[in-house]
Amino acid sequence: MTRKKTIALVAHDNRKRDIIEWVEFNHHILEKYHLVCTGTTGRMIEEALHHKQGQRTSHIDITLLKSGPLGGDQQLGAMIAEGKIDLLIFLWDPMQSQPHDVDVKALLRISTLYNIPSAYNRSTADYLISSPLLTSEDYVPRIKNYSEYLTRSVEL
Protein backbone atom coordinates (compact mmCIF):
# COMPACT_ATOMS: atom_id res chain seq x y z
CA MET A 1 0.00 0.00 0.00
CA THR A 2 1.37 3.41 -0.93
CA ARG A 3 1.80 6.15 1.62
CA LYS A 4 -0.54 9.11 1.33
CA LYS A 5 1.58 12.21 0.71
CA THR A 6 1.39 15.09 3.15
CA ILE A 7 1.03 18.73 2.19
CA ALA A 8 1.73 21.47 4.74
CA LEU A 9 -0.30 24.69 4.55
CA VAL A 10 0.71 27.91 6.30
CA ALA A 11 -0.44 31.49 5.76
CA HIS A 12 0.27 34.77 7.45
CA ASP A 13 -2.77 36.78 8.55
CA ASN A 14 -2.87 38.98 5.44
CA ARG A 15 -2.69 35.87 3.23
CA LYS A 16 -5.22 33.60 4.96
CA ARG A 17 -8.03 34.59 2.56
CA ASP A 18 -5.71 33.65 -0.34
CA ILE A 19 -4.95 30.20 1.02
CA ILE A 20 -8.61 29.51 1.80
CA GLU A 21 -9.57 30.47 -1.76
CA TRP A 22 -6.74 28.27 -3.08
CA VAL A 23 -7.88 25.29 -0.97
CA GLU A 24 -11.51 25.76 -2.02
CA PHE A 25 -10.48 25.89 -5.68
CA ASN A 26 -8.23 22.80 -5.35
CA HIS A 27 -10.27 20.75 -2.84
CA HIS A 28 -10.87 18.00 -5.42
CA ILE A 29 -7.07 17.53 -5.71
CA LEU A 30 -6.34 18.00 -1.99
CA GLU A 31 -8.77 15.19 -1.07
CA LYS A 32 -6.06 12.73 -2.17
CA TYR A 33 -3.56 14.03 0.38
CA HIS A 34 -3.11 14.48 4.10
CA LEU A 35 -2.94 18.17 5.06
CA VAL A 36 -0.98 19.58 7.98
CA CYS A 37 -1.75 23.18 8.88
CA THR A 38 -0.60 25.62 11.49
CA GLY A 39 -3.43 26.30 13.92
CA THR A 40 -5.32 29.40 12.82
CA THR A 41 -4.84 28.68 9.12
CA GLY A 42 -6.06 25.10 9.58
CA ARG A 43 -9.13 26.11 11.59
CA MET A 44 -10.09 28.66 8.94
CA ILE A 45 -9.63 26.08 6.17
CA GLU A 46 -11.74 23.54 8.07
CA GLU A 47 -14.48 26.12 8.55
CA ALA A 48 -14.45 27.15 4.88
CA LEU A 49 -14.60 23.53 3.73
CA HIS A 50 -17.37 22.77 6.21
CA HIS A 51 -19.48 25.53 4.61
CA LYS A 52 -18.87 23.92 1.21
CA GLN A 53 -19.82 20.48 2.57
CA GLY A 54 -22.80 20.09 0.24
CA GLN A 55 -20.55 20.60 -2.79
CA ARG A 56 -17.87 18.07 -1.78
CA THR A 57 -18.02 14.34 -2.27
CA SER A 58 -15.29 13.30 0.15
CA HIS A 59 -13.47 14.39 3.28
CA ILE A 60 -10.16 16.28 3.42
CA ASP A 61 -7.86 14.87 6.08
CA ILE A 62 -6.38 17.77 8.12
CA THR A 63 -4.04 17.75 11.12
CA LEU A 64 -3.85 21.01 13.07
CA LEU A 65 -0.64 22.12 14.72
CA LYS A 66 -0.28 25.04 17.11
CA SER A 67 -0.59 28.56 15.77
CA GLY A 68 2.65 29.67 14.08
CA PRO A 69 3.72 32.21 16.73
CA LEU A 70 2.92 29.68 19.49
CA GLY A 71 5.23 26.98 18.08
CA GLY A 72 3.36 25.70 15.03
CA ASP A 73 6.14 26.78 12.67
CA GLN A 74 8.64 24.86 14.79
CA GLN A 75 6.37 21.79 14.92
CA LEU A 76 6.15 21.89 11.15
CA GLY A 77 9.93 22.28 10.85
CA ALA A 78 10.39 19.17 12.99
CA MET A 79 7.99 17.24 10.75
CA ILE A 80 10.01 18.29 7.70
CA ALA A 81 13.25 17.16 9.36
CA GLU A 82 11.60 13.82 10.19
CA GLY A 83 10.58 13.30 6.53
CA LYS A 84 6.84 13.61 7.24
CA ILE A 85 6.12 16.51 4.84
CA ASP A 86 6.17 16.13 1.05
CA LEU A 87 5.18 19.64 -0.02
CA LEU A 88 4.99 23.04 1.67
CA ILE A 89 2.59 25.81 0.65
CA PHE A 90 3.49 28.87 2.73
CA LEU A 91 1.76 32.08 1.73
CA TRP A 92 3.78 34.61 3.68
CA ASP A 93 3.32 38.36 3.74
CA PRO A 94 6.38 40.11 2.27
CA MET A 95 5.03 43.54 3.25
CA GLN A 96 4.71 43.04 7.00
CA SER A 97 7.25 41.91 9.55
CA GLN A 98 6.07 39.12 11.80
CA PRO A 99 6.59 38.91 15.56
CA HIS A 100 7.88 35.37 15.01
CA ASP A 101 10.15 36.18 12.02
CA VAL A 102 12.91 33.99 13.45
CA ASP A 103 10.58 30.97 13.37
CA VAL A 104 9.45 31.82 9.82
CA LYS A 105 13.05 32.03 8.62
CA ALA A 106 13.84 28.74 10.35
CA LEU A 107 10.91 27.07 8.55
CA LEU A 108 12.06 28.43 5.18
CA ARG A 109 15.60 27.26 5.94
CA ILE A 110 14.61 23.74 6.99
CA SER A 111 12.37 23.26 3.94
CA THR A 112 15.31 24.27 1.74
CA LEU A 113 17.77 22.12 3.68
CA TYR A 114 15.59 19.01 3.23
CA ASN A 115 14.75 19.92 -0.39
CA ILE A 116 10.98 20.00 0.16
CA PRO A 117 9.11 21.44 -2.83
CA SER A 118 7.81 24.77 -1.56
CA ALA A 119 5.48 27.48 -2.81
CA TYR A 120 5.41 30.97 -1.34
CA ASN A 121 2.74 32.39 -3.65
CA ARG A 122 -0.45 31.13 -5.32
CA SER A 123 1.04 30.80 -8.80
CA THR A 124 3.80 28.51 -7.60
CA ALA A 125 1.29 26.58 -5.47
CA ASP A 126 -0.80 26.04 -8.62
CA TYR A 127 2.23 24.75 -10.51
CA LEU A 128 3.23 22.35 -7.72
CA ILE A 129 -0.26 20.97 -7.06
CA SER A 130 -0.70 20.24 -10.78
CA SER A 131 2.72 18.63 -11.25
CA PRO A 132 2.71 14.94 -12.22
CA LEU A 133 5.64 14.53 -9.82
CA LEU A 134 3.28 15.09 -6.89
CA THR A 135 1.29 11.99 -7.80
CA SER A 136 4.35 9.93 -8.67
CA GLU A 137 5.24 7.27 -6.13
CA ASP A 138 8.75 7.04 -7.56
CA TYR A 139 9.79 10.65 -7.01
CA VAL A 140 11.92 11.18 -3.93
CA PRO A 141 13.61 14.57 -3.40
CA ARG A 142 17.39 14.32 -3.38
CA ILE A 143 18.80 15.55 -0.10
CA LYS A 144 22.33 16.92 -0.03
CA ASN A 145 24.76 14.74 1.89
CA TYR A 146 25.90 16.73 4.91
CA SER A 147 28.16 14.01 6.35
CA GLU A 148 31.27 16.10 5.67
CA TYR A 149 29.75 18.95 7.65
CA LEU A 150 28.73 16.63 10.48
CA THR A 151 32.19 15.02 10.75
CA ARG A 152 34.25 18.20 10.45
CA SER A 153 36.79 18.98 13.13
CA VAL A 154 35.94 21.86 15.38
CA GLU A 155 38.59 23.66 17.36
CA LEU A 156 37.73 24.86 20.82
As a whole number of Å, the CA-based R_g of the chain is: 16
| Distance, C-alpha 45 to centroid of its chain | 13
> Out of 61, 73, 93, 126, which one is annotated catalytic?
73
Q: Catalytic site residue 73?
A: yes
Say how far apart CA 80 and CA 115 lie, in whole Å: 10
Q: Which of 37, 50, 25 is nearest to 87 (CA)?
A: 37
Contact 93, 121 (CB under 8 A): no
Dist. CA 103–CA 145, nearest whole Å: 24
Residues designated as active site: 73
